[in-house]
């Protein structure tokens, strides 16, 4: 147990990272030994089925700067980080890193300096990536589509690697939404944010713990939690469909009376199909609008966040 609360907490989610563990913790221990502000590490075991949990227990018993949090089962990266945020004792700042050393923990000094300059969020922008061409292209396209669709300005090519102030940490843990996209929530909160460019390295050992399914899930969170464009697109499609049907009707009536032989019932049939498709799309969009509003209400994000009040 730490008697005095640390200034900074470093959160590391770990899922079957036994191959990474020694390398990771050795590097972080070296860093902590030379880093002045008092710092705690919060390791979160996300239901690992390998030796990770025992390694964590041994380390926490040896070094009180390492706090270990054990989740009851695998909850996924975003929830593991959320649990870490919840358990962090820091009084000034929280840093979030991956457990595979793709995010250099040594940037803590630079991030903390920025925090001291008055930034509440310092997020890391990936200048380049070490993943294969296909995955890299998919990430590239995803972040651009997300930016296009998003109602808020979520920066591109950023992950969860960041440092946030204590007050931003407090706001994030007060947001009870269950499908979490932390990098989106972080930028939604506002305040002064700083993008820090860095080279994202390769995973140092073991395999990526993100399956395709998990990546699609988090990608969908990133779009649907921050955008009403998909619902609005339904209205638009509906209106376009109705407009086309009306033009089509006029065109066919014109053709019928200018000597073209059209089979009986053809005009009515085509018109009815496209017109009522449009009507249906608009009605679904309407229902969607209510669903979206209900969703906004039930996820209970704070209505506003006050930076400061004078007098
Ligand atoms: N992770 C986790 N739970 C999961 C999947 C991943 O806690 O269900 C952790 C993992 O141990 C690592 C971090 O999240 O510390 C990022 O995962 P990974 O490096 O596998 O993702 P990638 O870099 O391939 O996107
Ligand atoms: Mg990784």
Residue corresponding to tokens 């969703």: 295
Q: Is the CB of 54 under 6 A from ligand 1?
A: no
Q: Mean pLDDT across the stretch 300-305?
A: 92
Which ligand gives the minimal distance to the CA of 135? 1
Do residues 172 and 259 share a domain? no
Identify the pLDDT of residue 251.
Answer: 86
Residue % of the chain over a pLDDT of 90: 68
Q: CA-to-CA distance for 12 and 85, rounded, in angstroms?
A: 10
Do residues 213 and 238 share a domain? no
- Write out the H or E segment, with its range, that includes residue 77: helix 77-87
Atom number, ligand 1, closest to the C-alpha of residue 207? 20
Do residues 201 and 244 share a domain? no
**Which residue, among 14, 310, 302, has the nearest Cα to 167 in the 3D structure?**
302
Token representation of residue 231: 């619902």
Residues with CB under 5 A from ligand 2 (ion): 98, 100, 102, 203
Identify the pLDDT of residue 231.
Answer: 86
Do residues 179 and 215 share a domain? yes
Identify the pLDDT of residue 133.
Answer: 86
| pLDDT 10s digits, 232-248 | 888 899 999 999 999 98
Identify the pLDDT of residue 98.
Answer: 95
Do residues 246 and 256 share a domain? yes
Task: State the residue range of the domain holding 137.
Answer: 8-227+302-310
Mutate to test the pocket of ligand 1, among 82, 95, 209 (most ligand atoms within 8 A of CB): 209
Tally of CB atoms within 10 A around 311:
2
pLDDT of 135 strictly over 90: no
For residues 244, 246, 248, 253, the Cα torsion angle rounded to the nearest 10 degrees is: 180
Q: Is the CB of 80 under 6 A from ligand 1?
A: yes
Using the Cα atoms of residue 67, residue 72, residue 74 and residue 76 in order, give the sign of their dihedral: negative
Residue % of the chain over a pLDDT of 70: 99
3 belongs to a structural domain = no
81 belongs to a structural domain = yes
Residues with Cβ within 8 Å of residue 6, at least 6 apart in sequence:
38, 39, 40, 65, 89, 90, 91
Identify the pLDDT of residue 118.
Answer: 96
Cα 100 to middle of ligand 2, angstroms: 6
Mutate to test the pocket of ligand 1, among 77, 206, 219 (most ligand atoms within 8 A of CB): 77
Counted residue by residue, the chain has a size of 311
Q: Is the CB of 85 under 6 A from ligand 1?
A: no
Contact 10, 99 (CB under 8 A): no
Identify the pLDDT of residue 8.
Answer: 97
Q: Is the CB of 13 under 6 A from ligand 1?
A: yes
| pLDDT 10s digits, 202-228 | 888 889 988 889 899 999 998 888 888
Which ligand gives the minimal distance to the CA of 17? 1
Cα 198 to middle of ligand 1, angstroms: 19
Nearest CA to ligand 1 atom 14: 77
2 belongs to a structural domain = no
Identify the pLDDT of residue 1.
Answer: 54
100 belongs to a structural domain = yes
Do residues 222 and 240 share a domain? no
Identify the pLDDT of residue 253.
Answer: 84
Identify the pLDDT of residue 307.
Answer: 92
Do residues 187 and 252 share a domain? no
Which of 169-173, 282-286, 296-300 shows the highest mean pLDDT? Answer: 169-173
Q: Is the CB of 126 under 6 A from ligand 1?
A: no
Q: Is the CB of 209 under 6 A from ligand 1?
A: yes
CATH number at residue 34: 3.90.550.10
| pLDDT 10s digits, 238-276 | 999 999 999 988 988 888 788 777 777 877 888 899 899
Residues with Cβ within 8 Å of residue 4, at least 6 apart in sequence:
38
Average pLDDT of the chain, as a whole number? 92
Identify the pLDDT of residue 7.
Answer: 96
Identify the pLDDT of residue 2.
Answer: 53
Q: What total of structural domains would you count in the chain?
A: 2
| pLDDT 10s digits, 64-118 | 999 999 999 999 999 999 999 999 999 999 999 999 999 999 999 999 999 999 9
């Amino acid at each position: 147990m730490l008697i005095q609360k640390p200034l900074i907490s470093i959160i590391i989610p770990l899922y079957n990272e036994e191959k990474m563990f020694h390398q990771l913790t050795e590097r972080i221990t070296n860093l902590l030994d030379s880093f002045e502000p008092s710092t705690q590490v919060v390791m979160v075991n996300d239901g690992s089925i390998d030796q990770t949990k025992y390694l964590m227990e041994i380390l926490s018993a040896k070094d009180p700067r390492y706090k270990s949090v054990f989740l009851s089962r695998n909850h996924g990266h975003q929830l593991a980080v959320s649990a870490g945020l919840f358990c962090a004792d820091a009084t000034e700042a929280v840093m979030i890193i991956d457990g595979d050393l793709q995010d250099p923990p040594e940037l803590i000094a630079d991030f903390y300096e920025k925090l001291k300059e008055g930034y509440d969020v310092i997020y890391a922008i990936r200048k380049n990536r070490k993943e294969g061409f296909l995955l890299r292209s998919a990430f590239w396209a995803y972040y651009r589509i997300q930016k296009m669709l998003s109602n808020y300005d979520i920066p591109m090519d950023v992950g969860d690697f960041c440092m946030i102030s204590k007050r931003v940490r407090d706001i994030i843990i007060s947001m009870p939404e269950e499908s979490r996209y932390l990098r989106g929530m972080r930028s939604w909160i506002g305040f002064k944010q700083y993008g820090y460019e860095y080279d994202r390295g390769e995973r140092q050992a073991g395999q990526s713990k993100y399956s395709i399914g998990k990546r699609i899930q988090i990608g969908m969170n990133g779009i649907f939690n921050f955008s009403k464009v998909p619902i609005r697109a339904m209205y638009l499609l509906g209106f376009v469909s109705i407009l086309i049907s009306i033009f089509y009707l006029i065109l066919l009536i014109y053709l019928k009376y200018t000597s073209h032989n059209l089979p009986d019932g053809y005009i009515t049939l085509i018109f009815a199909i496209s017109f009522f498709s449009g009507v249906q799309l608009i009605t679904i969009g309407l229902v969607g609008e209510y669903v979206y509003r209900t969703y906004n209400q039930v996820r209970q994000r704070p209505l506003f966040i006050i930076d400061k009040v004078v007098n």
